[in-house]
Structure formats: structure tokens, C-alpha cells
Chains A and B, each alone.
Chain A
């Protein structure tokens, strides 16, 4: 009575087929990540030591450590964050909570999306023109970080706006209808409940900023500079550029060295992500509806 028809069987076979197909694609997706990490650990792992992290490069960058580049990357990322996070969140708050739906808002939204699509080398040239030359910041951490900030802004704006939009409209209406202003509503209800989503955007920005090479190449990152930066007006080495330099510009670099630098760079990014993700999980556990 309940025997499977030919059509039933066919549907079941198809179900299995597609399930397997999609699973295979997913596995294919994480394969490069696993391979990259494994390679880096295998080839670069032996390089990692306290000495490697805490000394300057020597012998024309074919030996020694990476301290100036490591510290420089942290400087660049932190200054870029300080510049872009407040501006990005403010812009996202305006677009999400205040802006009327008119041609101007739509134009701004379009501009934000297009800004995200600008190639990083174009950002680099913009940074040279705007920050290095026009604002007379010279080639400095400030100029490089601001260039990175401009590049990262769309990421922060779009992800923050999405986090804000995820807060149900009913919460806003309830707040407004009891006489709260838009700002009071944002402060009491919208921001506290979108913080974890906003953090995601900042995580993305950190990852992107730390790894970028082109935007800092002409604006503040140095080829070789075995001193630690002291102010934002100094030039600095950076991990990403250092990796590029020792991989392509310097002769007779031992094979393990670039892998070691890459491993440090990716560990830096992953550990920053881990901290933010832990914070997000903590926040998400606290707030619910």
C-alpha cells in the first residue's frame, strides 16, 4: 500500500545527489584555507621564536627577525581603526536611523557600494594625492592609515548598517511612541542590541587592513627601516610589505623566512578575530529576544 513509486525513488536519488554535491562544494571551499594554514605551519613554523619576533632584520633582510614590521602593522591597523570606526558607525547610524528615503540617500548608498569596489591600488594613488601631498602628511603612518581607513570605510558602514537593520522595527516604534527621540532610541535600544553585529564589521576591517599591501606601499610603509616608529608622523615597516619585499625584491632569502613572516601575519589577524569573536559570543549570550 505504501510502496515507493518510481517517482519517489527518483526524488530520493536526486535528494542524495544534491546533498552530496553541495557538501562536496563546501568541503572544496575550506580546502584552500586548510592547505594554506598547513603549508605555513609546516614551512614557516620552524622560523617562529621569540628572537624572530623581537629582533630586527639583518644581512640585507635575509636573516634576523621582524620586530619593526610586526610593530608597524599594529600601528597601521590601530590608527586606521581609530579613524574609520567612528566615522563608519556614525555614517551607518545616519543612513539606517535618520536618512529619509530620497534620491540623496540612494546616491550615498550607491557611493558606499562603489567605494567598496575600488581596487586597492587606486586607493593607494588617492592616498598619495590626498594625504601625502595635499594634506602634507608626507609618507607616514598617518597617511598610510588614513588611506587604509578610506578603503575600509565601506566595509564598516555596510556591516554596521546591516547590524542596525537587524534590530526589529517594532522596538523602535515602541520607543518612539513613548516620547523617545531617535537618539534616545538608538542609545537605549538599537545600539546595545546591534553591538555584536557591528563588531563583526570591525573584525572584517582588521583582517583586511592588516593584510593590505598596495595602499601602504606609497603612503607610509618603508622597504627597510630597522627602527620602531614613535609617532604617527614616522614611516614604518609592515608585515605585508615586508613579505612582498623579501619574496620578490631581495636575493638569496632562505625559503623558510617568507613563510615565517606569512605565518606571523595570519596569526596576528586570526588572533584579533578570535578575541572579537569571543566578545561577540559573550554579548550574544547576554542579549536575546
Chain B
């Protein structure tokens, strides 16, 4: 373990579990198994990378984490996912749970409302009505997502008509407007140009000090650039979790991980 990862990996509560703890997690869609028997921890204020080829259960894990599984027919969750030691399935008020978890999707989703309303939506859903307060949130979140300078003069235009890269940053601003403790990014760079990708990566590095970030990516090098620790999922199996540096310096325990990060398949 590297020095920084070790300090970050420390668990303040001393319960032996991280911010997110996953135990024997199996996810099925009807008879089809998407993820089987995964156990790992995500620690507070780290960027936790999840890599693996398509269909390896990465997105399914994210949907189980914020209980979007409830909205998906046939999706069955077995085992436990806990946030701060509390199983997500025990949340009666699933909306409050989701509010604590920001999500960024693979394809940018600018909602068909103004840029301002996109970012003010979540605060408004929480009942914030004060114009001054909303203005402050919108400016802060757009700035943090590195979009403010480009859109500050046209906050009233449609968020869904921005370019792909701008929409993805808008999505991040919207996620930040939830004041999330956890930020989930699902292959956020898939429809974004390389320059914007680098800008978003810089944003994520800054956000790390404030929240726990789970970064699902199909770009192995992106995990290497950003993640403190990385998990490798392969066809529904958690192959291993290790410090990112170890995975990329040939110290992985499983030969399949080495083959994947070195680009021999996937």
C-alpha cells in the first residue's frame, strides 16, 4: 500500500468498514447474474475506480448502491451494501438516500429546462425557495463543475441544447447541487471530447477532499490517473481490489487483471 492510500484508507469509526461496505453482493436480472458474491469497501474521501469490460456488472453495482434497482423490473439484490454502516435496503425514505448520492451517467443528460433550472432542480425538490440561496447554489455548483464561465451569460437557455461536453459538466453541477456525500460516475467520458475529459478529471481531483467518489470507467488509464484504489470486475465477478499503483505496476494478484490493464483483452 502506498503512503497516501494507507492514511486515506483509515477508518475513523473503527468499525472495520468503509464509507461504503459491500458484502457478498449478488445482482440478478431474472435468471441472469450480473454480479456474484462481491465483497469490498470504499473508504471515505477516496476515488474508487471500477474497471472491467462491458457486461461485467459495474453499472449494476451503481444502480444497487442508490437503490435505482427499485425502479428496475426483475432486478434482484442479494447480500448487503451499507453506507456508513447502514444497509441501503433498510432506508424507508429511499429519496433521502438518493439525495446523498450524486450520479453522472455515461451519456450526458441535460434536462429539457434552462441551465439554471437544471442545477436548481434538486435544491427546489428539497424545498429551497429563496432566490438568493438558489442563485448562490447555481453559481457555486456550475463553477465547481468548470462550466460557470461558459454559461454565466445564458443561464436561461436550454440545458439540453448545450454541447455534449458542456452537458456532462452540467450533469456534474446538478449532482453537486444535491450536496452529495458520494458521487458516482458511470463512464462519464464516453461521449465527451478529450479536453473536456481532462477538465472533468481535474474537477474530480478537487472534489475528492469533500466526498467519496466511485468512478466506473472503461478507460484503464483514467482509473490509473484518478483512482486511489481500483476494483477489477470481469463478467460478474470481482477479480480483485488493490491500490491502483499496484495494479499498474505488475503487482496484481490475479493474472487476468494484469492482462486487462496491459490491454491484452477487453
Q: Which residues of A contact B (CB under 8 A)?
A: 100-101, 170-171, 173-181, 184, 188-189, 192-193, 287-289
CB proximity of B247 to chain A, nearest CB, Å: 29
The answer for the CA separation of A181 and B112 in the assembled complex, in Å, is 18
* Cβ contacts under 8 Å, B178 to chain A: 178-179
Judge whether A189 and B158 touch: CB under 8 Å.
Answer: no
Q: Given that A180-B95, A287-B112 are contacting pairs, would A174 and B125 also be in contact in the complex, using a CB cutoff of 8 Å?
A: no
* Cβ contacts under 8 Å, B99 to chain A: 178-179
* Cβ contacts under 8 Å, A171 to chain B: 109, 111-112
The answer for the CA separation of A192 and B68 in the assembled complex, in Å, is 23
The answer for the CA separation of A177 and B59 in the assembled complex, in Å, is 13
* Cβ contacts under 8 Å, B96 to chain A: 179
- Residue in chain B with minimal CB distance to A168: B109
Instruction: List 13 additional A-B contacts (Cβ < 8 Å) besides A178-B122, A178-B178.
Output: A100-B73, A170-B109, A173-B71, A174-B111, A175-B111, A178-B103, A179-B99, A180-B121, A180-B122, A188-B113, A193-B112, A289-B110, A289-B161
Judge whether B98 and A178 touch: CB under 8 Å.
Answer: yes
Judge whether A180 and B125 touch: CB under 8 Å.
Answer: yes
The answer for the CA separation of A170 and B160 in the assembled complex, in Å, is 12
Judge whether A178 and B102 touch: CB under 8 Å.
Answer: yes
* Cβ contacts under 8 Å, B161 to chain A: 288-289
* Cβ contacts under 8 Å, A181 to chain B: 95
The answer for the CA separation of A188 and B171 in the assembled complex, in Å, is 16
Judge whether A177 and B112 touch: CB under 8 Å.
Answer: no
CB proximity of B7 to chain A, nearest CB, Å: 31
Judge whether B66 and A177 touch: CB under 8 Å.
Answer: yes
Interchain residue pairs with CB less than 8 A apart (21): A170-B105, A170-B109, A171-B111, A173-B68, A173-B71, A173-B109, A174-B105, A177-B66, A177-B98, A178-B99, A178-B103, A178-B122, A178-B125, A178-B174, A179-B97, A179-B125, A180-B121, A180-B122, A188-B113, A192-B112, A289-B110
Closest 5 CB pairs of A and B: A179-B99, A289-B160, A179-B98, A177-B103, A174-B109
* Cβ contacts under 8 Å, B151 to chain A: none
Asked if B213 is at the interface (CB within 8 A of a chain A CB), the reply is no
Judge whether A177 and B68 touch: CB under 8 Å.
Answer: yes
B171's partner among A100, A174, A180 (CB-CB below 8 A) is A174
CB proximity of A64 to chain B, nearest CB, Å: 53
- Residue in chain B with minimal CB distance to A170: B109
Contacts of B85-133 to chain A: CB distance below 8 A: 95-99, 101-103, 105, 107, 109-113, 121-122, 125
The answer for the CA separation of A174 and B186 in the assembled complex, in Å, is 13
The answer for the CA separation of A112 and B113 in the assembled complex, in Å, is 33
The answer for the CA separation of A174 and B172 in the assembled complex, in Å, is 11
* Cβ contacts under 8 Å, B102 to chain A: 178
Asked if B175 is at the interface (CB within 8 A of a chain A CB), the reply is yes
* Cβ contacts under 8 Å, B113 to chain A: 188-189, 192
Judge whether A289 and B112 touch: CB under 8 Å.
Answer: yes
- Residue in chain A with minimal CB distance to B94: A179
Highest count of chain A CB atoms <10 Å: which of B112, B158, B175 = B112
Judge whether B103 and A189 touch: CB under 8 Å.
Answer: no
The answer for the CA separation of A288 and B71 in the assembled complex, in Å, is 26
- Residue in chain A with minimal CB distance to B101: A177
The answer for the CA separation of A189 and B171 in the assembled complex, in Å, is 15
CB proximity of B184 to chain A, nearest CB, Å: 9
* Cβ contacts under 8 Å, B171 to chain A: 174
Judge whether A188 and B95 touch: CB under 8 Å.
Answer: no
The answer for the CA separation of A180 and B73 in the assembled complex, in Å, is 19
* Cβ contacts under 8 Å, B121 to chain A: 175, 178, 180, 188
* Cβ contacts under 8 Å, B158 to chain A: 287-289
* Cβ contacts under 8 Å, A179 to chain B: 95-99, 122, 125, 178
* Cβ contacts under 8 Å, A289 to chain B: 110, 112, 158, 160-161
Judge whether A176 and B68 touch: CB under 8 Å.
Answer: yes
- Residue in chain B with minimal CB distance to A189: B111
CB proximity of B218 to chain A, nearest CB, Å: 19
- Residue in chain A with minimal CB distance to B96: A179
* Cβ contacts under 8 Å, A100 to chain B: 73
The answer for the CA separation of A212 and B218 in the assembled complex, in Å, is 60
- Residue in chain B with minimal CB distance to A171: B111
The answer for the CA separation of A288 and B111 in the assembled complex, in Å, is 10
The answer for the CA separation of A175 and B110 in the assembled complex, in Å, is 11
The answer for the CA separation of A179 and B182 in the assembled complex, in Å, is 13
Highest count of chain B CB atoms <10 Å: which of A171, A177, A180 = A177
